[in-house]
Amino acid sequence: MTIARKLYIKTYGCQMNVYDSERMAEALGGQGYVETTTPDDADMILLNTCHIREKAAEKVYSELGRFRSLKAERPDLKIGVAGCVAQAEGEEILRRQPLVDLVVGPQSYHRLPELAEKARNGARALDTDFPEQDKFDHLSARPKARRGPSAFLTVQEGCDKFCAFCVVPYTRGAEVSRPAERVIAETRDLVERGVREITLLGQNVNAYHGHPGGLAGLVRALSAIDGLARIRYTTSHPNDMDDALIAAHGEVPELMPYLHLPVQSGSDRVLKAMNRKHNAEAYLRLVERIRAARPDILLSGDFIVGFPGESAEDFEATLALVDAVEYGQCYSFKYSPRPGTPAAERPQVPEAEKDERLQRLQTLLRTQQRAVQDRMVGRETDVLFEKPGRTPGQMVGKSEHLHSVFVTGPGIARGELRRVRIAESATNSLRGELLEPMHAVR
């Protein structure tokens, strides 16, 4: 009887890394690996890394240092680094950390089985190429186990925009899109295993071109799948938000009224320095068009404060744009240099000014988020229940607008879509009360 090898994967960063980790686990499943929740009893440890956050590489080296004692106790333990830090650092990881057995970039994880075998035979393995073939074509079919009610699905990778602050074009490569027929087939498979909601992922997902109708065409095709109740997508670039996709928000009921549309700054001068290729006015007019198509849409965004050269007036322009849009959710960060990007070589804004600006921006964003939530009180919404809450009989789910909704009531099943009236707004969540079971969803 073959003893299963245990695999521990620690995932950093975005939803695309979550999806990648799932597929890496599946790729190694053919070699007899099963996932474990702790590194202590693992036969292989994989760190699936992200290069977006500040000092990302140093944090990975620090994490690797924590495994030194495990490696000393069990020399057969294999340790790998995957993802964007692996792509950026490459051979440097092997040089700085002798305990690492394999390094694999995000476009090569379909080669994990052969890299793992090479490591098991005592050699150190490195693959950070950008292969011409589609990695998804070489992955084994996804296992047929039941899934939770929501799932991520990567449809597009890479970016051609070259924003001055961003490492994605260097770590993920040029924009590539998966063919629509493969995305549709994978979606059907997920739905058959219990998935009701799909979030389509891409570094620049609305630049998707694997369907003749672009992302809008893919959304319309997926909406015809029986049993798929909800579709979302992230992350978008304003310049690729075309008329067809805007129209889909108003015409496709399965496309949820939530849109993450990063702008990064409200200052035209800073946007030009960032190489965003749009200005604040164009972004605001785009928001108007989207809301005309879907008036109840909740908008989310990203903001960077303290970008090199940002003045007090530039920051005030960002606050003015936030006031004009009124976001329901948002992510905001202090600028931090990424080695190899154009902005990293420019004069930096003092940290104290970054801190003060970030605090002011986040205060405004929190106020807006709470106001949007408070307006939900008394309204009805459909909630897809995903997991038990903290108290007996409580279940937690997501509304159409991606709000977390807590409901206490009998007979709520995981994966069930129910009609709820919002009774209370709390910090980062809503409390709801069940109404009559909603009509059956295809």
Say whether pLDDT at 13 is over 80.
no
Predicted confidence band of residue 439 (pLDDT cuts 50, 70, 90): very low
pLDDT at 269: 98
> Do 268 and 261 meet the contact criterion of CB atoms below 8 Å apart?
no
Query: What is the band of 254 on the pLDDT scale with cuts at 50, 70, 90?
Result: very high
Q: Tell me, what's the pLDDT at 151?
A: 93
In contact, 300 and 258? CB cutoff 8 Å:
yes
- Assess whether 300 and 369 both reside in one domain: yes
Q: Is 163 annotated as a binding residue?
A: yes
Q: Per-residue pLDDT averaged across 404-412, rounded?
A: 91
- Residue 300 counted as domain residue: yes
Is 218 found in the same domain as 264? no
50 is in an annotated binding site: yes
Structure tokens that stand for 418 in this block: 């129910």
Query: 274 vs 54, which has greater pLDDT?
Result: 274
Could you tell me how many helices (H) and strands (E) the chain has, helices first?
Answer: 14, 19
Q: Do residues 337 and 297 lie in contact, with contact meaning Cβ atoms separated by under 8 Å?
A: no
pLDDT above 50 (res 77) = yes
CA dist., res. 209 & res. 215, Å (int): 7
Confidence of residue 108 (pLDDT cuts 50, 70, 90): confident
* Judgement on whether residues 298 and 229 belong to the same structural domain of the protein: no
- Find tokens 């129910």 and name the residue: 418
pLDDT of 136 reads: 58
Residue 200, pLDDT > 60, answer yes
Q: Is a pLDDT exceeding 50 seen at residue 305?
A: yes
| Rounded-to-integer distance, Cα 272 and Cα 280, Å | 10
- Asked which of 336, 360, 375 is the last residue of a domain, the reply is 375
- Residue 162 domain flag: yes
Those residues with Cβ within 8 angstroms of residue 277's Cβ, 6 or more apart along the chain or in another chain: 161, 239
Domains of the chain: total:
4
Query: What does DSSP assign to residue 440?
Result: P
Q: Are strands 394-399 and 380-388 parallel, antiparallel or unpaired?
A: antiparallel
Could you tell me if 127 and 109 are in contact, meaning their C-beta atoms sit under 8 angstroms apart?
A: no
Whether 63 and 91 map to the same domain: the answer is yes
Where are the extended beta strands (E) located within 158-237?
176-177, 197-201, 230-234
Q: 197 pLDDT exceeds 70?
A: yes
288: Cβ contacts below 8 Å, ≥ 6 apart: none
Does 137 fall in a domain? no
- Give me the count of residues in the chain: 442
Helical segments of 326-442, H only: 351-374
63-77, 182-196, 394-408: segment of lowest average pLDDT? 63-77
Domain boundary among the residues 249, 275, 300 is at 249
Residue 439 located in a structural domain: no
> Given a cut of 80, is residue 441 above it in pLDDT?
no
* Measured CA distances, 82 to 20, 93, 104, 106 (Å): 10, 11, 5, 7
Q: Is 84 annotated as a binding residue?
A: yes
Q: What pairing do the DSSP bridges indicate for beta strands 298-305 and 258-260?
A: parallel
pLDDT for 353-382, tens place per residue? Answer: 999 999 999 999 999 999 999 999 999 999
Q: Which residues pair with 425 in a beta bridge?
A: 430
Residues 387 and 371 in one domain: no
- What domain range includes position 26? 5-127
d(CA 126, CA 115): 8
Establish if 329 belongs to a structural domain: yes
Q: Is the pLDDT score of 440 beyond 50?
A: no
Interval 317-327 mean pLDDT: 98
Does 405 lie in the same domain as 366?
no
Question: In terms of domains, do 324 and 392 share one?
Answer: no
Q: Are residues 184 and 294 in the same domain?
A: no
Give φ, ψ of 98 to 5 degrees. -60, -20
- Banded pLDDT at 60 (limits 50, 70, 90): confident
Answer for the pair 347, 300: CB distance below 8 angstroms, yes or no: no
> Rounded to the nearest 5°, which phi and psi values hold at 55?
55, 40
User: Is residue 133 included in any domain, yes or no?
Assistant: no
Instruction: List the end-to-end C-alpha distance of the chain, in Å, as a whole number.
Output: 44
Q: Are 205 and 175 in contact (CB under 8 A)?
A: no
Say what the pLDDT of residue 1 is: 43
CATH number at residue 205: 3.30.750.210
Tell me: do 160 and 237 sit in the same domain. Answer: yes
- Considering 201, 230, 249, which residue would you say is the last residue of a domain? 249
Mean pLDDT in the chain?
90
The pTM of the whole model exceeds 0.85: no
Q: Flag whether 399 is in a domain.
A: yes
CA-to-CA dists, residue 74 to 91, 364, 397, angstroms: 24, 51, 42
Over residues 141-171, the pLDDT tens digits come to 555 566 789 999 999 988 999 999 988 888 7
> Quick check: is 440 in a domain?
no
CATH number, domain with residue 327: 3.30.750.200
> Do 354 and 394 fall within a single domain?
no
Tell me the CATH number at 389.
2.40.50.140
Statement to judge: residues 180 and 234 lie in one domain: yes
- Tell me the sheet residues that pair with 233: 200
How many CA atoms, within 13 angstroms, populate the side-chain half-sphere of residue 246? 17
Q: Is the dihedral of CA 163, 165, 170, 176 positive or negative?
A: negative
323: which residues sit within 8 A by CB, 6+ positions away? Answer: 364
* Token pair of 404 as six digits: 């977390």
Beta bridge partners of 408: 394
Interval 34-48: pLDDT, tens: 999 899 989 999 998
- To the question of whether residue 330 is assigned a binding role by annotation, the answer is no
166 is in an annotated binding site: yes
Quote the crossing angle between the two packed helices 312-325 and 351-374, to the nearest 10°: 10
Enter the DSSP assignment of 114.
Answer: H
Same domain, 369 and 395: no
